Amino acid sequence: MALLEMNQICKAFSGVYANDHVDLTVEKGEIHALLGENGAGKTTLMNILFGIYSADSGQILWKGQPVRFASPKDAIAAGIGMVQQHFSLVRKMTVLDNIILNLRDNRFVLDRKQARQRVRALAEKYGLTVDPDAQVDSLSVGEQQRVEILKALYRDVELLILDEPTGVLTPQETAQFFEVLRALQKEGYGIIIITHRMSEIMAISDRVTILRDGKKVAQLVTAQTQPDELSRYMIGRELKETYDVDTPPGTEPLLSLEGVSLPRKKKGHPLHDITLELRRGEILGVAGVEGNGQKELAEIITGIQRPSAGRVMLDGADIQRETVRQRYERGVVYISDDRLNDSLVTDMDLTENLMLRDYCRPPFSHRGLLDRKAMLQAAKEKIQRYQVRSSGTSGEATPVRLLSGGNQQKLIVAREISDRAQVVVASQPTRGLDIGATHFVRDRLVEQRNAGKGVLLISADLEEIMALSDRIAVLFGGRIVGVLNRQEATVEQIGLLMGGVTGKEEVG
Amino acid sequence: MVQEILTVGFLTAFLSAAVRLAMPLMYGGLGEMIAERAGILNIGMEGVMLSGAFFSFAGAWYFHSIPMGLLCGILGGMVVSLLHGLLSIRLAKDQSVSGLALNMLMLGVTSFLYKLMSAGQSYQQVETLPSLAIPGLSAIPVIGEAFFNRDILTYLLYVLIIAAFFFYRSTNWGLNFIAVGEHPRAAESAGIPVNRYRWIAMVLNGALGGIGGAYLVLVQLGVFTENMISGRGYIALAAVILGRYTSFGVFGAALLFGAANALQIRLQTIGVEISPYLLAMLPYVITLAAMLGAIGKNSQPEGLSKPYIKGMR
């Protein structure tokens, strides 16, 4: 008898199937990968299992018994735990308080002493080291993930759902995390891991179920398959994994930072004495775990933040005192990691969002009056060229909040990359995009490089950095801890740098 | 003049007045703290207190009973808070707008009802709560008189302050309330019904704010006058921020405001040569100064004043 059996699950949102007769079975002691592009229905399926949504039709058998969970509370009570992509931890509470939050057998007055002992024991057993009395907002992302897992284990779950668990981890943390999963597997836990990283599926899973467009397209035994087969099932066609970055990179300096520093503020991260050069015709990758100053680096180059020390030079000119708009006019463009907050006005339509950079000058504006016709024409052309698909029938007049993440990103790329662009600052440009959109964005970046422009690619995704960059700088704790040529760089080496292990420390 | 200020008699009277003046702020502040820790900002505290004051007066007047007055005051406060709950929890409307609107509304409603009630009679007064000295404690010099020779509502507040501290620190429900205010989605995924907790917080907010208003009528003045809260609801909001969202903090902050007010009154009666208008500003200047001093120390719940809609990202 399988631990979990989901049969013919259907779920539609306003008439569109998110899950279309999907099956999934998980055994005890199995690590089962759930693979699919964004919007393939992975998260919907898991949310149905976890009681967040209810299925329109279909059956869930939990240890052979038909069940239907009305809320996560019911699912947890039955023995199913889920670690969401965005952690649900209360930052101002301690690890321990987060773990024991609203437990069924909590007495009115909490017994923290006993709980602390149990957390310590669990943590030790599975290598989930974390201090129970630390406040959550003082923990690294990897530690927070351990807290989430402890939280589930503490509730005696038998099946653990992990939604994109490795996206925020360094390679070393990922390796450690896989050790934890193997330990859990040995104890008989069932584990469902949602991911789109082939290498991880191959490394950790026993079986894999692939979803495409809400349908189950295959269930395979991992040991009997290959990444290219998985990818074929997932997108229905094969994709080239290489990019035309083979032309030699340029040598002429374009943008340089000299001793740029930023003090620690209430929100955000400090930078210490950053010296970096971006050349014409190259992609300079900036690797690092998020929260090590990436955002601040991007914002200092684009002019959103001012450094407390150091200089920013573009083409030999000091642009230190220039505003965001002045820098844009010189060709500094920005694809932010936070689409919805930094790059788009979500209630405005496609045309208006495409014009956010250029509305104020001819041909779109004459003596302070907007020329809507010229805007619409330019927008139509960009939408077509960049294949931005709006779901509605209103085309260019669709509010961008109704667009999928991939199309929103294409829209931003369409706006930022123009003839004007000289320096493209692209921060996590493919995060959350499906494979098709990811390739589209990467192709555009490579095009810019080949056209002799400079691309600063900030990404936490090492595969992306390795695939695209000519040189790779690693950011850790607000410092550049190393700059490597791609030919001489290895994933292990960069991974160590990302974790703050520099050559010197290793020797010492 | 300095000698006049530094006598035991002056200090005793001053501290006693400070506690008395702080009491409505303490009740209002505690009620507001409970709401805000659950994520609901009730700027309508002024209206809640005004409603509590009016209905406690009306209740005490018609039933000739202080307990009935208190009960009516509590209910009057609750109705306003629940209205705020309806707008901000159920309908997920902007909490600041809702709170301000309620303040305006309650000013009109209470003035109107008071006119109806007092038609023909120019002056009405109700009985006030007597003081009960706590044997032993009330004999402590200066402090005893100020803190332990008081009415029963003051003693109730001491109990509530300590109970609230213990509740948030050591109980399962207390932890749940914190989670609801800090991170409602995390609370929901731990199986806590977020909006039900917020409703409970609003009930307590109304009850305590109602007592705060009723205190003015049933303990201090024995009468109702139009707009008699005159900004105390807003000061209670400030006390919550200054008190860092803890019950003892609110107690201390309210006491500070009470002391500023008491000092101002005392200085006027002594005849200090400063314009009484300037002196009357003292409590508000202290409020502002205290808020400036608290800049950068953010202890505000992260989910404050954000409506929680289930299933929305």
Supply the DSSP string of B91-146, one letter for each residue: S---HHHHHHHHHHHHHHHHHHHHHHHTTT-S------PPPEEPTTGGGSTTHHHH
Please say if the pLDDT value at position B294 is more than 90. Answer: no
Structure-token pair, residue A38? 């964004």
Q: What residues of chain A, 64 to 103, have a C-beta less than 8 Å from chain B?
A: 71-73, 76, 82, 84, 87-93, 97-98, 100-103
Q: Which among B176, B179, B191 has the least Cβ separation from residue A71? A: B191
Q: Which residues of B touch A106 (CB under 8 A)?
A: 172
Range of B229's domain?
A: 2-118+151-293
Q: Specify if B65 maps to a domain.
A: yes
**ipTM attached to this prediction:** 0.86
How far is Cα B105 from Cα B102, in angstroms, rounded to an integer? 5
Contact between A95 and A132 (Cβ < 8 Å): yes
Position A45 scores a pLDDT of: 93
Query: In this structure, what DSSP letter does residue A248 have?
Result: P
pLDDT per residue as tens digits for the range B76-100: 999 999 999 999 999 988 899 999 9
Q: Which among B172, B185, B296 has the least Cβ separation from residue A102? A: B172
Helix (H, G, I), strand (E, B) or coil at B154: helix
Position A149 scores a pLDDT of: 93
- According to DSSP, the residues that pair with B149 across neighbouring strands are B133
How far is Cα A455 from Cα A470, in angstroms, rounded to an integer? 10
Is the full-model pTM beyond 0.80? Answer: no
Q: Specify if B304 maps to a domain.
A: no
- Decide if B267 touches A, using CB distance below 8 A: no
How far is Cα A366 from Cα A374, in angstroms, rounded to an integer? 11
How far is Cα A338 from Cα A190, in angstroms, rounded to an integer? 34
Chain B residue with the nearest C-alpha to that of A113 = B170
pLDDT per residue as tens digits for the range B113-135: 998 888 767 667 888 998 888 88
- Highest mean pLDDT range out of A496-500, B206-210, B256-260? B206-210
According to CATH, the superfamily of the domain at A4-235 is P-loop containing nucleotide triphosphate hydrolases (3.40.50.300)
A323: which residues sit within 8 A by CB, 6+ positions away? A303
How far is Cα A431 from Cα A337, in angstroms, rounded to an integer? 8
Please, which pLDDT band fits residue B282 given cuts at 50, 70 and 90? confident
Contact between A448 and A421 (Cβ < 8 Å): yes
- In a mutational test of the B interface, the residue from A101, A136, A137 whose CB has the highest number of chain B CBs within 10 Å is A101
pLDDT per residue as tens digits for the range A359-395: 888 889 888 888 989 999 999 999 888 888 876 566 7
Across chain A, mean pLDDT equals 86
Q: Is B129 exposed, middle or buried (0-12, 13-18, 19+ CB in 10 A)?
A: buried
Q: Specify if B127 maps to a domain.
A: no
Q: Is A45 exposed, middle or buried (0-12, 13-18, 19+ CB in 10 A)?
A: buried
- Decide if A106 touches B, using CB distance below 8 A: yes
> How close A47 comes to chain B (CA, Å)?
10
| H/E run at residue B69 | helix B66-85
Q: Specify if B276 maps to a domain.
A: yes
Position B313 scores a pLDDT of: 40
Q: Specify if B62 maps to a domain.
A: yes
How far is Cα A166 from Cα A421, in angstroms, rounded to an integer? 33
At residue A134, φ and ψ (nearest 5 deg) are -75, 145
Closest by CA to A76, choosing from A129, A152, A11, A23, is A152
Please, which pLDDT band fits residue B16 given cuts at 50, 70 and 90? very high
pLDDT per residue as tens digits for the range B150-182: 999 999 999 999 999 999 999 999 999 999 999
Q: Which residues of B touch A101 (CB under 8 A)?
A: 175-176, 179, 186-187, 190, 192
Give the CATH number of the domain where residue B7 resides. Answer: 1.10.3470
Q: Specify if B308 maps to a domain.
A: no
Domain limits, chain A: 4-235, 253-343+421-498
Question: Chains A and B: how many Cβ contacts under 8 Å?
Answer: 68
Q: Specify if B168 maps to a domain.
A: yes
According to CATH, the superfamily of the domain at A253-343+421-498 is P-loop containing nucleotide triphosphate hydrolases (3.40.50.300)
Structure-token pair, residue A503? 């050559």
Q: Specify if B221 maps to a domain.
A: yes
Beta strands in A315-363 (DSSP E): 317-318, 332-335
B56-69 burial, b at 16+ Cβ within 10 Å, e below that, comes to bbbbbbeeeebebb
Query: In this structure, what DSSP letter does residue B24 have?
Result: H
